[in-house]
Amino acid sequence: MFLSECSTNSINAAAKNIVDGYLVAFPTETVYGLGADATNEGAVAKIYEAKGRPADHPLIVHIASMDAIGDWAEDISEYAINLARDFWPGPITLIFKRSKLAKDFVTGNQNTVGLRVPNQPIALALLKEFENLGGKGIAAPSANRFGAVSPTTAQAVKDELVNYLDQVNDVILDGGPCQVGVESTIIDCTAETPQILRLGAITKEMIAQSTGLLVIEEPTTDIRVSGSLESHYSPKAKVALDVNPEIGDGFIAIDSIPTPAGAIRLVAPSSIEGYARDLYSALRFADAQGLTKICVIQPEGDGLAAAIRDRLKRAAN
Ligand code: TXA
Ligand code: MG
């Protein structure tokens, strides 16, 4: 079945589909991923094709537990182990020097590999079953077309990719809405000190606390993080930040800010966590309604609020 509920049987069948070289979209706590066997070149090529993503953009390899780090990575630093222990399963991706298993087709020709253990029961069950079947890891970018908003529901994956997936053999596992709603924090663990490449729910303070090290936040230019391209996470509607909406414009803001007259309230989250969780579905809803402009009042504060502003800046580009 193309859009599948998540019984043990359907999760196990989906793991088998991945072994057989097909694609499986699955829920994680951040956003839905579009998964393939990370050791199968043909299968990974299907991800790039479905997304319309340039081949030199690396994919994150999802693993069932930190026990699999050694399969994929070399020169693993002590602080990286601390991060994995403290935050996996969870919304953080760690970048390591790659092992021989991590081929150019999954790392976008880089000498590093990104690894993550997601904190979502269906994702973990899928990864465990894939491992039971002899699999090493599931390569999975967000399950959207290149440059578009990441999907946080199975229906959003279907809307986004229905014309680009094989409706007989590829599967979308429906695990309900994602709990975090923005993509994982990405940490480069290849240098003496951890460096944040993408902001997310695991904050700079949490990383400093876990590692006892100074955390660098400036992204370098030689590592390709497609989410750090200027225009990304973009709906069809124009996104305008911190401006007053005109009549008929969409409006997103924390719930203490009232809706200006004539604007169409898309979401009114009562917390920063709620803001992150509901933002992408609100952007999609605006497109579904055919709105041409969305005015967003950005959340204040550090941590997750900074991750939200980072995505909004790119969505507005
Ligand atoms: O929360 C997430 O991370 C979601 C879920 C599905 O796990 N995945 C996700 O994947 O956001 P994607 O491909 O949409 O974004 C992953 C980012 C990309 O910008 C990619 O360039 C970067 O991670 N990345 C992956 N491997 C890397 C590497 N070896 N070095 C630097 N950046 C890397
Ligand atoms: Mg993405």
pLDDT tens digit string along 266-286?
A: 999 999 999 999 999 999 999
What is the position in ligand 1's atom list of the atom closest to the CA of 110? 29
Q: What is the pTM of this model?
A: 0.96
Q: Mean pLDDT over residues 33-60, rounded? A: 96
Give the Cα separation of 309 and 235 in Å (integer).
15
| Strand stretches in 235-279, DSSP E | 238-241, 250-252, 264-267
Nearest-10 Cα torsion for 87, 93, 94, 98: 140
Cβ 27 under 6 angstroms from ligand 1: no
Q: State the pLDDT at residue 229.
A: 57
Mutate to test the pocket of ligand 1, among 26, 51, 93 (most ligand atoms within 8 A of CB): 93
Quick one: which ligand is closest to 107's CA?
1
Question: What pLDDT score was predicted for residue 159?
Answer: 95
- Rounded CA-CA distance 6/276 in Å is 24
Whole-number Å distance, alpha carbon 82 to ligand 2 midpoint, is: 26
**Residue 148 CA, ligand 2 centroid: distance in Å:** 8
Compute the average pLDDT of residues 48-54. 95
CA distances to 15, 169, 192 from 140, in Å: 13, 17, 28
- Lowest average pLDDT, out of 68-72, 147-151, 217-221, goes to 217-221
Q: How far is the CA of 261 from the centre of ligand 1 (A)?
A: 40
Ligand 1: nearest atom to the Cα of 34: 6
**CA 137 to ligand 2 centroid distance, Å:** 18
Instruction: Work out the average pLDDT over 13-30.
Output: 98
Amino acid letter, 226: S
Q: Is the peptide bond before 91 cis (omega within 30 degrees of 0)?
A: no
Q: Is 90 in the pocket of ligand 1 (CB under 6 A)?
A: no
Nearest to 3 by CA among 161, 147, 121: 161
Q: 96 with 75: CB under 8 angstroms? A: yes
Q: How far apart are CA 62 and CA 75, in angstroms?
A: 19
Beta strands 92-98 and 73-74 are: antiparallel
Judge whether residue 121 has pLDDT over 70: yes
Question: Is residue 314 lining ligand 1, measured as CB closer than 6 Å?
Answer: no
Give, as one character, the DSSP assignment of residue 259: P
Measured from the Cβ of residue 160, the count of other Cβ atoms closer than 10 Å reads 24
Alpha-carbon gap, residue 282 to 96, rounded angstroms: 34
Tell me how far the alpha carbon of residue 44 lies from the centroid of ligand 2, in angstroms. Answer: 15
Check residue 191 and give its pLDDT. 96
Interval between CA 150 and ligand 2 midpoint (Å): 6
Structure tokens at 24: 């499986």
Q: Is the CB of 272 under 6 A from ligand 1?
A: no
Under 8 Å between Cβ of 184 and 95: no
Q: Is the CB of 113 under 6 A from ligand 1?
A: yes
CA 100 – CA 71 distance, rounded (Å): 9
Q: Say whether pLDDT at 221 is over 70.
A: no
Q: Is the pLDDT of residue 112 over 80?
A: yes
Q: Which residues pair with 251 in a beta bridge?
A: 265, 295
**Mean pLDDT of all residues belonging to the chain:** 95
Task: Say how far apart CA 198 and CA 227 lie, in whole Å.
Answer: 8
Output the CA 229–ligand 1 centroid distance in Å. Answer: 12
Q: What is the CA radius of gyration of the chain?
A: 19
Residue 222 burial by Cβ neighbours in a 10 Å radius (0-12, 13-18, 19+) = exposed
Q: Which residues contact 289 (CB under 8 A, 6 or more apart)?
A: 250, 264
The confidence score (pLDDT) of residue 225 equals 56
pLDDT given at position 222: 47
pLDDT in the model for residue 226? 55
**Beta strand 138-139 pairing with 60-62:** antiparallel
**Ligand 1 in contact with 216 (CB < 6 A)?**
no
